[in-house]
Amino acid sequence: MKKEIMDLGYEIVRVSDGRVTFKGDISALCRANIFLRTTERIMLCVGRFNAYSFDDLFEGTKALPWEELLPRDAKFWVSKATTKNSKLFSSSDIQSIVKKAIVERLKQKYGVSWFDESGSEYPLRVFIHKDEVSITLDTTGESLHKRGYRQLTAKAPISETLAAALIMLTPWNKNRILVDPFCGSGTFPIEAAMIGANIAPGMNREFTAENWKNIVDKKCWYQAISEAQDMITEDIDMDIQGYDIDGDVVRIARANAREAGVDHLIHFQQRPVSELRHPKKYGFIITNPPYGERLEEKSALPELYRQIGEAYARLDAWSCYLITSYTDTERYMGRKADKNRKIYNGMIQAYFYQFLGPKPPRPAVTASQARV
Ligand SMILES: C[S@@+](CC[C@H](N)C(=O)[O-])C[C@H]1O[C@@H](n2cnc3c(N)ncnc32)[C@H](O)[C@@H]1O
């Protein structure tokens, strides 16, 4: 996530507890929502202060310049309050005290005693970590993993943001082969195709902050969208394939890829993993195999993971990346992973097993290129 933010040209000011804070002007708010692939939500930080009591929380909140952000008709509420290692821990009390403090401030500033809240929505989120309160406005709305392309899903889909983050953890790039033999709704192939073709993930959806005309000029959104359109690589050829044993699921994956505008870049086909083959070298498997949520499914896992191991062994000089919560993965694949990383797939603790293949040789430099 940090790298993506820096690639967009912003300076990171702190990283704590799963949140990355960066500095930017108002256009950063639009660009971050539209361009970041691995983030769930972009928050606008209104203020930070320490609070050891509800009085501190009330006064600290009231001291912030709310009238500069919330118009007189704003509909605002604290949609979420989370606390960690702090004196204040009751989320519902934090939510109501923060709201009351803002109302108090706005009553004084606007000289009114009642707000009908009939205007645009300004949801707030409060984070308290080690007694430090961060009050933020949620610019995103529906989480960023909702790109808009996944109209239908197969069973146990991986989130789009996690799929993108895992692909970006591997050395895969658009010039290398990528196969997902358990593609389900097609999330890995679609995210990879979008990365390869430079298609910004938030181009086809809406954000809460689009209605904040007092804060974000419409022009900022148009500029960010036009920047995203200019960046798309139209003329591109990639070798990305998605397979699944279930024909209905493959149809869903195709429909989703069409929706994302990348169906021409992916070959989807119904095929069991036991029949996985590829004639070329140096490809990547990136996949999320079944991990057996139900008992009867669990009994089939040793055979299934044996088949994954055999299919992988048949491929020449490939790398294989699996996210799964099945703890006997290496045993049945018959191979120890070169790297392993604990990762949460939603609420489920999983591992990202990484079996690394060799790098392809560098293309030979021709005599004419060598002279340049
Ligand atoms: C955990 S889901 C993958 C979800 C996918 N990543 C997504 O985002 O929708 C596992 C998939 O493996 C498929 N599957 C189960 N057994 C298989 C087999 N032997 N060969 C190929 N696919 C299989 C299932 O149909 C299911 O779609």
Hey, what long-range contacts does 229-236 have (CB within 8 A, 24 or more apart)? 229/203, 231/198, 231/200, 232/197, 232/198, 232/199, 233/196, 233/197, 233/198, 234/197, 236/174, 236/196, 236/197, 236/265
Q: Which residues in 277-298 are b (16+ Cβ under 10 Å) and which e?
A: ebeeebbbbbbbbbbbeeeeee
Convert 67-78 into a string of H (helix), E (strand) and C (coil). Answer: HHCCCCCCEEEE
- Cross-strand partners of 50: 132
Residue nearest to ligand 1 atom 18, measured at CA: 272
CA dist 18 and 24 (Å) reads: 19
Counting atoms of ligand 1 from 1, which one is nearest the CA of 307?
19
Q: What residues contact 141, with CB distance under 8 A and at least 6 apart?
A: 123, 206, 207, 208
| Lining residues, ligand 1, CB within 6 Å | 153-158, 181-182, 184-185, 187-188, 244-246, 249, 272-273, 288-290, 304
Residue 300 CB neighbour total at 10 angstroms: 11
Q: What is the phi/psi pair of residue 30, to 5°?
A: -70, -45
Residue nearest to ligand 1 atom 27, measured at CA: 184
Q: If you measure from the C-alpha of residue 192 to the centroid of ligand 1, how many angstroms do you get, rounded to a whole number?
A: 17
* Distance, C-alpha 164 to centroid of its chain: 6
Q: What's the burial of 129, exposed, middle or buried (CB within 10 Å: 0-12/13-18/19+)?
A: middle
Q: What confidence score (pLDDT) does residue 362 get?
A: 83
**pTM (two decimals):** 0.94
Counting atoms of ligand 1 from 1, which one is nearest the CA of 304?
19
Q: What one-character DSSP code corresponds to residue 52? A: S
Tens-binned pLDDT, residue by residue, of the chain (372 aa): 789 999 999 999 999 878 999 999 999 999 999 999 999 999 999 999 999 999 999 999 999 999 999 999 999 999 999 999 999 999 999 999 999 999 999 999 999 999 999 999 999 999 999 999 999 999 999 999 999 999 888 788 999 999 999 999 999 999 999 999 999 999 999 999 999 999 999 999 999 999 999 999 999 999 999 999 999 998 999 999 999 999 999 999 999 999 999 999 999 999 999 999 999 999 999 999 999 877 668 899 999 999 999 999 999 999 999 999 999 999 999 999 999 999 988 888 999 999 999 999 987 766 666 554
Q: What confidence score (pLDDT) does residue 295 get?
A: 62
CA dist 92 and 89 (Å) reads: 9
Q: What confidence score (pLDDT) does residue 216 get?
A: 97
Cα distances from 248 to residues 127, 185, 186, 260, 308, in angstroms, run 42, 10, 12, 19, 22
Residue 317 CB neighbour total at 10 angstroms: 12
Q: What residues contact 310, with CB distance under 8 A and at least 6 apart?
A: 274
Helix axes 187-196, 160-169, angle to 10 degrees: 60
Residue nearest to ligand 1 atom 13, measured at CA: 182
Q: If you measure from the C-alpha of residue 165 to the centroid of ligand 1, how many angstroms do you get, rounded to a whole number?
A: 19
For residue 286, give the nearest of 198, 183, 197 by alpha carbon. Answer: 183
Q: What confidence score (pLDDT) does residue 88 get?
A: 98
To test the pocket of ligand 1, the residue of 185, 194, 245 to mutate (highest count of ligand atoms within 8 Å of its CB) is 245
Q: If you measure from the C-alpha of residue 174 to the centroid of ligand 1, how many angstroms do you get, rounded to a whole number?
A: 23
Q: What confidence score (pLDDT) does residue 151 get?
A: 83
